[in-house]
Structure 1
């Protein structure tokens, strides 16, 4: 990748920002070495691993890299047999712990989401916990070798503490003496060169034997080790030398253990730094509100609301750019300080970032291309030392670009052809653009030349663009408008600033007619664009309102379904409890029947059975009335002769005889007539000839009942004559049929059998009776006939 373009586009500043998010020095080194790749597969892999890191951080937070340092030099020394210091060994223990924590972090993330690339990076890391445990057993967090490091060290340190105690006791007894205190500068014990001493006044030097180890700056105080503690201090010194020797032996042993795994730990140290670098890319993406771009190798580029990453978020203006589909070159025109150069750098820098595996500050759905080279000629690079003018500097850069550019390159040219005669400069700019366009590379160029607007207008594959400028405020808006060429605002700005109108009019006459027509056309285009933009915003606002309403309706529908499910669950629970209650009562009734049968030796009276059966019926919970679909015809549309369905009778069909005038109708149901509420009827056929009321009265008996009337399960016929019993049985069977009863009981007693024979003969011919039988044991036996209805 072209290093000059990297510098021109400020890629190095992106790397500095990236390094700030690395937790380790190795991660910062990896960030500093990052370079764009021209390999599409490699770029996609880089972006994929960055995406895995972003999703991991969103799920589990930042990984635990704290305390991990670059210990590769220490590991190499240990590998060669060198002895490491306590703090160096603790750094290695911290590395081992960091490896273990990263393995644990990755495993916890992998349980919930797929992160194959991160798992591949973590999988080779070794688990050297026994080595870490041994180091931590011997060395504390402050980098001191602990007594527990070896039994010998513990014994030596016990002797040292005992020896120090003896020396202190001896010196304290000495300085407490009244005769000695007057010779001391201060009554305290101090240490000089690992030897315990006391501060003695200079004039009493001859009264003390022993060794002078130090004196004060003025010479008035001598720090003397008295003869009384000389041997004790010597013994203490010997013990400390033994301590130091034992510590060195412990450190050598630990260093040897580290040396055995040094090669693997060096590799793990580097891998941990690379993993830290990947998560630094994720943190950088989060700070920039960046997204993962789609990558291709076909030269297609589409940026949605792209932002320059080095401009503060509150100041940057997003741009939309598309390149490589219907056109491969964009010519951007517009006034100075309008944002042309920033737009140019935004496209180039975001391309370099994506090729480096970094997310880009643009909206979702943005697409970028992997170029084999990104070339930029931006800014005034004239050099006094090299005697290069602005024009010469641009030409030198362009010549270098033209030598290396290919059809897979991106070329960014700022102020093309500037710095020389306008006529020659514009001609040269057109020639350079034409040459690059024939090569087939992707081009974005900025210019002030009107000739380039005409060139872009007439050349297929090249499009004009401009930076929007608000003439009312005399300020640029920094918005890139693709498809609209820029126009000169010099006269409008000058007029706005107060230049006399006569001068403005003279200047306008000096401008050619063609130029004025082009300027007017551009103004018209810009006005149309503003109108379209306003309408688009209105449409977007309406779309958002509709979307909000849709979400509100979806939410209300969800709440309704939740409430419905809750009510159904409550109803089911209530029904379950009712069934359980009915079951318990039925079981109690059955138990009572069995008890009666046993007590009365199978001669249970029929009235007792009837009473028990009545209780059994009452134990059955009342059925819940099913909701019915509203009748298609209005109640007022139903009249005499209409065929209707009666909801309360299970959809039984009949004909309306007459309307009673009180919201009810007299309905003919077979041989029966009954009054039914109009709301309980559904019209199923057209009107039929009205039934004459007198004929209807002679044709059938009128049965008046409502849905709330209770029809018993049994009919007691005992004591009736056969004729009376048949009339009663006929009425009872009709009512039972209309009530949708499946089975009824006709109680006729045993007696002579005449009533039973007559009833059964009647049942055999009745249209509502499907079958009949004598009562079983517990149902009344031969004294009851059980009829099953159709």
Structure 2
């Protein structure tokens, strides 16, 4: 091992593959060594910088600079540039490592969520199969008793009532079982969606299940207020991330095999809707349904009564209308018709 400031030795090490340059990292802000060895990068002299920091006479520094020569100064500058690039590369590598770890953690969390979902589904199936087996066994026994009674003697009003009660009991138990299964399925879906939403990064072009009606759409852009604009059929809606869920790969795969037709359940829209007293999100939801109904039923215009108040509803509704491409114009009503408390919408 050789320690030296001579550039000839550094060049010699570069020229021979059996030798390796190395240096000790130097903190330019504190002007102190960090005692960290940098392999492959030759060190540079900090003598002039240290002398200048110690307020040596400038004439001495000028003579020293001339003495070492411009070539060595250029080499020192090159080394300093390489050192800066090394720090930048290390910073990028650290950022990339952090991002990789975060992605790995997200993948691990999603895998755990999927495993949890599968376990819940298996448990649900076992419970449903057990309940169904008990239900069939009980009803088979009751049915056999009823058949035996009907075969014995004549059919009386009492026997007829027993049959009706038996049928009604089966219908009630079936409805109750369906309701419980639906509640459990909803709870599983909500738990899974809640876990997944914490680790999902949404982006433009992503296919999602959106809104309270669970419709499939595609993200178009992100608004400044944090909402995403989602295209659902011919319309676009502003939605929070909590109202979105990514379309699974299975659904995406199945989409190639299944032709999905859109059928609106909208009734004919009213000429005027009143959203006073609602929150902005509630009002937007009503406006969205009204616009959908208007488009489906070929209605050319309608009006919204939002009141004046502090103007939050009016501003929010107007901001949303600006994002709907089918809306050609919207404006406040005349003073005698409601003024700033009412908005007309045209398609």
Give the TM-score, by structure 2 length: 0.45
Give the TM-score, by structure 1 length: 0.21
State the structure with bigger RCO (CA 8 A, min sep 6), 1 or 2. Answer: 1
Structure exhibiting the larger radius of gyration computed from Cα positions: 1
